[in-house]
Amino acid sequence: MIGFLARRLGWALPTLLGVSVIVFAIVKLIPGDPVATMAGPGASPATVADLRSRLGLDDPVPSQYLHWLGHALTGDLGRSIAHQQSAGPLVWDAFLNTAVLAGIAALMAVVLGVALGALGAIRPRGLIGRLCSGGSVVAVSLPQFSVAIVFIAYLALRTGWFPVTGMHAVGSDGLLDLLHHAFLPALTAALVPAGVIARLFRSSLLDVLAQDFVEALRARGLSERRILLHAVHNTLPSLMTVAGLQIGYLLGGVVFVETIFSWPGLGQLVYQSISARDMPVIQAGVLVSAVVLVLLNVLVDALHALLDPRLRTR
């Protein structure tokens, strides 16, 4: 197992290096001059040129990349232009808020996806099975923006059951208040992953239930509940893989949800930074997201290998 993890981490390092190159290049291609933004609208061309020189932006692009990468490896992700503070702590605090939202949404997605997939596989030709299969297709097809608007209109504004914006009510920071505020944005973000998990889990479970060992278990007199538990156990590796991928999707794909519900997460921070041409925060936000996604994939591979020892030799 240690050798398997070492190989996966060995592949992760060049991946992270490639990600850093792509992040640096993409930010360089974003229109706008961060130096002019930093200097202010009334700055003279000489002041802008002097600031550009002091920041090293007159150096060749490879030198700028190596300088940025060296500082990033030490935890120095630059200084936010808009917030006038270090970008690292700013991005990290926002990422923790995103992780909270993504974690709640992932739990919802797994529970809904497994429930819909199991019901669709147990009675694939029955009414409930067809409804669950159709529901998973609808969940995958619904755009997050439209779903968020409907939820806000009917579950927040009309009924008043849920708050519309923020993580906490004014003067409150308890867990129940956090869950109350997170319910609608988490449910909005969870629908697409839940649909994906449901479809793939249903397909995997149907394949397992069609195998010969299931008939052997029935011949031995095992109840359908015990047989289903055996079948679910055989689908765990594939379920683990697709669930891990969907968690990664949630970490990187909740930008619209955070923006609509004013959730103070990394997606909203990067979105606001793009509007403000705050390049250090954009670079730091995208880099942190990419590093977390790569490490999450390594973790999913490790859990998959624990469930299926055959993978450890690959």
Q: Which residue has the tokens 């920071």?
A: 173
Six token digits for residue 250:
């949630």
pLDDT tens track, the chain, 314 positions: 666 667 766 777 788 888 888 888 877 777 666 666 666 666 677 776 776 776 666 677 788 788 888 888 887 877 787 777 888 888 888 888 888 888 898 889 888 888 888 888 887 777 777 787 787 788 888 787 788 888 888 888 888 788 888 787 766 777 888 888 888 898 888 888 888 888 888 888 888 777 777 778 777 777 777 877 777 777 777 777 777 777 777 777 677 788 888 888 888 888 888 777 778 888 888 888 888 888 877 777 777 667 666 655 55
Contact 281, 129 (CB under 8 A): no
For CA atoms 260, 197, 5, 18, the dihedral sign is: negative
The pLDDT score that the predictor gives to residue 67 is 80
| Confidence (pLDDT) at 171 | 65
Contacts of 90 (CB under 8 A, 6+ apart): 80, 83, 269, 281, 284
From 251, 233, 237, 242, select the one nearest 302 (Cα to Cα).
Answer: 237
User: What pLDDT shows up at residue 308?
Assistant: 63
What are the tokens at 88?
Answer: 């690292």
What's the first-to-final CA gap in the chain, in angstroms? 11
| pLDDT on residue 1 | 62
Angle formed at CA 15 by CA 10 and CA 17, multiple of 5 degrees: 105
Domain ranges in the chain are 2-73, 89-313
- DSSP states along the chain: -HHHHHHHHHHHHHHHHHHHHHHHHHHHHSSS-HHHHHH-TT--HHHHHHHHHHTTTTS-HHHHHHHHHHHHHTT---B-TTT-SBHHHHHHHHHHHHHHHHHHHHHHHHHHHHHHHHHHHHSTTSHHHHHHHHHHHHHHHS-HHHHHHHHIIIIIIIT--S--SSSS-TT---HHHHHHHHHHHHHHHHHHHHHHHHHHHHHHHHHHHTSHHHHHHHHTT--HHHHHHHHHHHHHHHHHHHHHHHHHHHHHS-HHHHHHTT--SHHHHHHHHHHHT-HHHHHHHHHHHHHHHHHHHHHHHHHHHHH-GGGGG-
**Quick one: pLDDT at residue 244?**
77
Superfamily of domain 89-313: MetI-like (1.10.3720.10)
Residue 270's closest CA among 98, 17, 35?
A: 98
DSSP 235-259: HHHHHHHHHHHHHHHHHHS-HHHHH
Provide the pLDDT for residue 277: 75
User: What is the amino acid identity at position 37?
Assistant: T
Question: What is the model's pLDDT at position 32?
Answer: 65
**What's the CA gap between 269 and 281, in Å, rounded?**
8
